[in-house]
Amino acid sequence: MKAIIMAGGKGTRITSVASDVPKPMIQIEGKPVLEREIECLRDQGFRDLIITVSHLADTIINYFGDGSRFGVHIEYFKEETPLGNAGALLKMRDKLTSPFLLLNADSIFDINFNRFVGYHQKKGGLVTLFTHPNSHPYDSGVLIVDNNNAVEQWLTKEDERPQWYANRVNAGLHVINPAALDMSDIDVEMVGTEGADGKIIKVDLDRQILKPLCGSGKMFCYDSPEYVKDMGTPDRYETVCTDYSKGLVEAKNLNNKQKAVFLDRDGTINKHVGFLSNIDDFELLPGVPEAIREINEKGFLAIVVTNQPVIARGEATYKQLQEIHNKMETLLGLKGAYLDGIYFCPHHPHKGYEGEVPELKIECDCRKPKPGLILKAARDFNIDLSQSWIIGDGENDIRAGKAAGCKTTLIGVGNYEQDKTVESLEDFVKCI
Ligand SMILES: [Zn+2]
């Protein structure tokens, strides 16, 4: 599969870090960002690259040449006039005969590309967006998906958004089928020429190519906890350098074993109110966002595992539960904390109640104290369970954790042979 790297951006906000080099050539630990990206692709078998260049193009071309020095083959598409970030794609449409990766050289990433591409193939859409939760969803654009992860709405940070929304942010990495480029009515011949208003006609990828696919069922989100960060400002650049030196960037690649903190929901994250089915009853416990933020910063995945028999009992629908989880993510996001996954068991074993959903009244493998939810998350995210924790306020959490092979922490009182006992999630994060 071909990979196209968009390296034509100007990088005006980062000129205080390095004013004479194009953004993709800015060094992190002595190596240009773009070189790190190329190595990451090469090591996973992506060796056929096209780099689109404009601003200070020669610096990039002179350094990478035909790519042979780096074990890859590189072609360049040089923009003489700025075409917008998707103009080049339309201009080289003939060369694009099969799905390709489209990556942004302005961000630093280290991800499992084959897993990403595999997901795209499984979904069978025209476009797959790499999406992730971040620590500032309130001032980021967010994507709203249906229950098949197809994009329904693409909200920019300026757009009005629902009160509660999932923390799902576009990271600027894509798998694209060339047919997606043919769906707009842009006149390719005119791109790069002067329009009627005297301005050069450009093409914007997000606005003109991708956003129109919302609601078509042909564009999907690939949710991943891997490291992708924009380094467009001096502050963000600083953060990326620190993360690199700590080994965090590579560690989060899902090719590598992950460590996780599995979090029970009711009584651990939010106030225990019995069977919670009314969204107004959902309230975070004090100190929880700060604690989850620390879990995020320490390089653990934060994954909720929760029994929600309210679904089987007919007290809440999947949609209502989703809305409650959106509220949880929104409230956490406002304090800079995020979850990497939410796994719930909708089942309940005892039949014969009014209003219940009969097909969910079963003995399943996922209801804690069974370890099914944890084991599924471990498969999905390549988690080393022996390096991971479960924390919860009940015996079921401890037993599920033990059955899965995790270290265990109980909030509150009781002896279920847990490894640790604490008073709150906040107490727990101090000791990991
Ligand atoms: Zn279950």
Residue 366 neighbours by CB under 8 Å, 6+ apart: 343, 345, 347, 372, 373, 376
177: number of CA atoms within 13 Å, CB side? 15
Mode of pairing for the β-strands spanning 107-110 and 27-28: unpaired
Q: Which of these is catalytic: 243, 266, 340, 397?
A: 266
The CA 407 to ligand 1 mean position distance, Å, reads 22
* pLDDT given at position 14: 60
Which residue is listed with tokens 């096209």?
Answer: 50
Q: How far, in Å, CA of 71 to CA of 68, rounded?
A: 5
Identity of residue 309: P
Q: How far, in Å, CA of 299 to CA of 306, rounded?
A: 22
Cα 77 to Cα 61, 84, 93, 356, 413: the distances in Å are 10, 13, 12, 60, 64
- For residue 89, the SS3 value is helix
* pLDDT given at position 15: 60
| Tens-place pLDDT, residues 88-113 | 999 999 999 999 999 988 789 999 99
Q: How far, in Å, CA of 9 to CA of 178, rounded?
A: 22
Query: How confident is the model over 201-218, as a mean pLDDT?
Result: 95
Q: pLDDT category, 12, cuts 50, 70, 90? A: low
Q: How far, in Å, CA of 112 to CA of 102, rounded?
A: 15
* pLDDT given at position 231: 82
Q: pLDDT category, 82, cuts 50, 70, 90? A: confident
The CA 346 to ligand 1 mean position distance, Å, reads 6
* pLDDT given at position 45: 97
**DSSP-assigned beta bridge partners for residue 228:** 109
The CA 350 to ligand 1 mean position distance, Å, reads 12
Query: How confident is the model over 390-396, as a mean pLDDT?
Result: 98
Does 266 participate in catalysis according to the annotation?
A: yes
The H or E element that residue 76 is part of is strand 73-78
* pLDDT given at position 150: 98
- For residue 398, the SS3 value is helix
Residue 87: CB atoms within 10 Å: 27
**DSSP-assigned beta bridge partners for residue 101:** 3, 175
DSSP label at residue 81? S
The CA 289 to ligand 1 mean position distance, Å, reads 27
Q: Which of these is catalytic: 106, 110, 243, 264?
A: 264
The CA 379 to ligand 1 mean position distance, Å, reads 17
What ranges make up the beta strands (E) of 308-367?
A: 341-345
Mode of pairing for the β-strands spanning 3-6 and 407-411: unpaired
Q: How far, in Å, CA of 279 to CA of 369, rounded?
A: 25
Q: What whole-number percentage of the chain has pLDDT above 90? A: 82
* pLDDT given at position 17: 66
The CA 362 to ligand 1 mean position distance, Å, reads 8
Instruction: Evaluate if residue 251 carries a pLDDT over 80.
Output: yes
Read off the tokens for 99: 């799905």
Which of 16-25, 205-214, 349-358 tops mean pLDDT?
205-214
| Tens-place pLDDT, residues 20-79 | 678 888 889 999 999 999 999 999 999 999 999 987 788 999 999 999 999 999 999 998
pTM, two decimals, is 0.94
Query: How confident is the model over 297-306, as a mean pLDDT?
Result: 96
117: number of CA atoms within 13 Å, CB side? 17
Does 264 participate in catalysis according to the annotation?
A: yes
Phi, psi of 99, rounded to the nearest 5 degrees: -55, 145
Phi, psi of 154, rounded to the nearest 5 degrees: -120, 100
The CA 313 to ligand 1 mean position distance, Å, reads 13
Q: pLDDT category, 188, cuts 50, 70, 90? A: confident
The CA 7 to ligand 1 mean position distance, Å, reads 47
Instruction: Give me the long-range contacts of 31-34 (CB less than 8 A, separation at least 24).
Output: 32/63, 33/105, 33/108, 33/231, 34/5, 34/7, 34/60, 34/64, 34/105
Query: How confident is the model over 329-349, as a mean pLDDT?
Result: 98
Mode of pairing for the β-strands spanning 341-345 and 48-53: unpaired
What ranges make up the beta strands (E) of 264-336?
A: 301-307
Instruction: Evaluate if residue 232 carries a pLDDT over 80.
Output: no
The CA 39 to ligand 1 mean position distance, Å, reads 42
Cα-based angle 8, 12, 16 (whole degrees, multiple of 5)? 125
Rounded to 10 deg, the angle between the 288-297 and 318-334 helix axes is 80
Query: How confident is the model over 213-222, as a mean pLDDT?
Result: 98
Q: How far, in Å, CA of 349 to CA of 361, rounded?
A: 5
The CA 365 to ligand 1 mean position distance, Å, reads 6
Read off the tokens for 120: 């795209």
